[in-house]
Amino acid sequence: FTAPHPPYDPTDKSGFSYETVVKRWPIIITGVIDTLHQACHQLSLQSNLNAGTDSSAEVSNVDVQESTRKKIKEATGIIEKLSKLKYEMARDKPLVLIPDDGEPHVDTYNSELAALAKDSRDTWFTAPWLFAECYLYRLLRSFFVQTDHWASIDPFQEQKMKTFAQSGKAIYQIATTMHELEVDRAALRADPEKLGVLFNEMIQMCLWGNATDLSLLTHLSQEDIAHLQSVGKEARAARSKFILRGDEDAVWAHIKGLEGKEEAQKRVDFVLDNSGFELFTDLVFADFLVTYTPYVTKVVFHPKLIPWFVSDVTPPDFKTTFDALEDASSFFSSPTFSPSDSETTHMHTMVSRWQSYLASGVFSLSVPVETPLGGGGKDDEEVKAAEFWTSPYPYWDMRTRSPGAFESLRGSGLVIFKGDLNYRKLTGDVAWPAWTSFNEALGPLAGSFPLLSLRTNKADVVVGVEKAVAERLDARGEKWRVDGRYALISFLGLSAG
Ligand code: F6P
Ligand code: MG
């Protein structure tokens, strides 16, 4: 499918893409370099310590020191590649080919690069933004996967967990809300009107969960994040005026319509975005749908197979999130926060319910939870389908580019696409006028399955907003497309809207 508008790229210096290449990517790459430096520092401290200990250990000190030396050497190699990448990016050099590292999409990225080169659009300041950004994370992955020691390392993992650990206040508050629902579960399930009101709160909580992705942390302070996570009614009401498109009533009507459908259609899919707080809000929303409404019986979560856009959920993240929640009272305790006894009980009840859902298949990850980064070389259908989420393709080409991914969603009662990047891929990241219908912007994907996008605006592309509203915001000079303060709830059912 070819859209009638050009893709966003950094040749427009007023766009967010330009700022991204100039500022945000270099900061992210520098962060990875720092992480590796720190890891090496730890390794050498450890090895010095070992050197001082008793030599009767089973693995001799010489072996340990040799292996440490090798790890550090490999890390130094990655750091060199990262530094070169930063240098080339700043000087608008061409994007280099992805090496044949045994992981998916080498040809996909490289053939697109060849096509761009023919057009002289294969450099950091000329390549389409969506393509270049996906390429960047695939290239980073290649640096790691070509080593022995670092192939299963996610350079963003620590950052993801650290930020999650700072979300205790909001997380416990939500667990308590869920506990309050539990008290009148039976009455709720039989009261569609009350459920509708709660649904609105849940969908908004899940939407604003997207405000805290780490690739934006390059300009958000910890205080900003705490503010974005505040979940009280007032905070939510204050934010609702920032929702520029609100299809929540149509979504709710659609979900209610799932009652009486075949079991297979009472399924909701989440194409996940970020790990940590956002994933937690996804799980809460999923829990609400299966526990308190009679309309949904199963939820499938779709992760990324490689470290992606800093904070996206990988299968290891999904597992560590559950580990953290299982041990929530120590994981979230900090000098400024510790949960009360009743909060601890509420959290425990909720997380135990989620675990039982995972065990019984009510909740599932689209690939086995143990799937290692990169997919572990598996050819299983689900792993192949999941590879699509780290390709650079717009979703209007999903059916042709990845029949597996397409089929995995077909027949779902509702597919929820979380976050900004998913939105960019849904709309192809091209310069649609903001008042283009969501239906038109989805191209051939429209009508394939009922589709909901929950997105806080962090990139230029926007559709489905009234012309007068868009023009007013533009006239005020607001950065409403990119500053993360505004959001969209966009829904399209099976028939075009
Ligand atoms: O850097 C590009 C970008 O897509 C931004 O638009 C956004 O800030 C971020 O990456 C990803 O956001 P999200 O986690 O919501 O997909
Ligand atoms: Mg993300």
Question: Per-residue pLDDT tens for 160-206?
Answer: 999 999 889 889 989 998 998 888 888 888 888 889 988 998 999 89
Mutating to test ligand 1, I would choose from 17, 28, 458 the residue with most ligand atoms within 8 A of its C-beta, which is: 458
C-beta 239 within 6 A of ligand 1: no
* Segment 93-121 mean pLDDT: 98
Mutating to test ligand 1, I would choose from 16, 21, 309 the residue with most ligand atoms within 8 A of its C-beta, which is: 309
C-beta 304 within 6 A of ligand 1: no
Tell me: pLDDT of 214 over 60.
Answer: no
- Count other Cβ atoms within 10 Å, centred on residue 386: 25
Structure tokens that stand for 264 in this block? 């297979």
What is the spatial distance between Cα 401 and Cα 395, in angstroms, rounded to a whole number? 9
Question: Residues, the chain, total?
Answer: 497
310 CA from centroid of ligand 1 (Å): 9
C-beta 453 within 6 A of ligand 1: no
pLDDT in tens, 320-361: 999 999 999 999 999 988 999 999 999 999 999 999 999 999
267-271 sheet: strands from edge to edge: 243-246, 487-492, 451-456, 414-418, 267-271, 298-302, 363-365
Structure tokens that stand for 322 in this block? 């559950």
Q: How confident is the model at residue 57 (pLDDT cuts 50, 70, 90)?
A: low
CA-closest residue to ligand 1 atom 14: 213
The sign of the torsion formed by the CA atoms of 460, 466, 467, 470 equals: negative
Structure tokens that stand for 40 in this block? 């090496």
Torsion on CA atoms 312, 313, 315, 317, rounded to nearest 10: 110
C-beta 17 within 6 A of ligand 1: no
What is the spatial distance between Cα 187 and Cα 423, in angstroms, rounded to a whole number? 36
Q: Which helix (H) or strand (E) holds 301?
A: strand 298-302
SS3 category, 363: strand
Q: How confident is the model at residue 26 (pLDDT cuts 50, 70, 90)?
A: very high
Per-residue pLDDT, 215:
47
* Sequence-ordered list of residues with C-beta below 8 angstroms from that of 438, at least 6 positions apart, any chain: 245, 453, 463, 464, 490, 491, 492, 497
pLDDT in tens, 138-160: 999 999 999 999 999 999 999 99
184 CA from centroid of ligand 2 (Å): 35
Per-residue pLDDT, 328:
97
What's the pTM value of the predicted model, to 2 decimals?
Answer: 0.95
C-beta 481 within 6 A of ligand 1: no
C-beta 309 within 6 A of ligand 1: yes
Percent of the chain with pLDDT over 70: 93
Tell me: pLDDT of 216 over 90.
Answer: no
C-beta 429 within 6 A of ligand 1: no
